[in-house]
Amino acid sequence: MYNLIMFGPPGAGKGTQAKIISKQFGIPAISTGEMIRAAIKASTPMGLAAKSYTESGSLVPDEVVIGIIKERLTEDDCKNGFILDGFPRTIPQAEALASMGVEITKVISFEVSDKAIVDRMSGRRLCSACSASYHTVYAPSAEEGKCDACGSELIIRKDDRKDVVESRLLTYHRETEPLKEFYSKLNLLVVVDGEGTVEDVSKRALEALGVVLHNV
């Protein structure tokens, strides 16, 4: 059973790799960012509370995201494992996860330079209806501006604007990067080179998990 954490800076490819590993292992990919964006879209009380943090590139308060994850991990589809994408992002979140009694198998840290991240986030496009993710250059949709999966319009995330990206990177280095030491001390951290094609990175990630590859 795999209880995995996809770790790395915003735009490192965590969501992309989480979806690939999710298919490969048949376990859910759980993205706190996606859950927060859905709550904002639906104007739920949590969404309304989170909106200003997310759109300015800050982290949503720990107690809010910890609550979301605690509830999500009790759902039935998590009983054979799960992949966390974007959680934990602070030491208190990692401590809260440990106190939920879940045993983490591995934390895969995708190493990508700040320069490549800016490049990835500036080209990221998101389906306005089904949240499928694209990149104008590296993962383009078949028809420009339209989702391959459902045909809806592709949009640019508000927090992928250049000024917000800079602030998200600062937040990452200040608040999230210290988790590498936290998980390294627990012998759970595996570092994977996150540069190169999506396929190259998948191969490295799955190899780091000890999976023998035939046709990924």
72 labelled catalytic: no
By the rule CB under 6 A, 9 interacts with ligand AMP: no
- Site pattern 156..195 for ligand AMP (x: CB under 6 A): ---x--------x---------------------------
Extract the runs of DSSP E, i.e. beta strands, from 136-200: 154-155, 189-193
φ, ψ of residue 77 in degrees (nearest 5)? -70, -5
Active-site residue identified among 19, 72, 157, 180: 157
Cβ-defined contacts of 209-213 (< 8 Å, 24+): 209/2, 209/4, 209/21, 209/106, 209/108, 211/24
- Token look-up 């045993």 returns 103
Residue 190, strand partner residues? 108
By the rule CB under 6 A, 120 interacts with ligand ADP: yes
CA distances from 16 to 113, 200, 211 (A): 17, 12, 18
DSSP SS3 for 154: strand
By the rule CB under 6 A, 17 interacts with ligand AMP: no
Residue at 130: amino acid letter: C
* Interaction partner, residue 28 (ligand ADP, ligand AMP, none; CB < 5-8 Å by kind): none
Active-site residue identified among 106, 120, 124, 204: 124
By the rule CB under 6 A, 59 interacts with ligand AMP: yes
157 labelled catalytic: yes
Binding span for ligand ADP by CB under 6 A among 8-16, 50-58, 71-79, 161-169: 8-16
* Interaction partner, residue 152 (ligand AMP, ligand ADP, none; CB < 5-8 Å by kind): none
Active site residues: 14, 89, 124, 157, 168
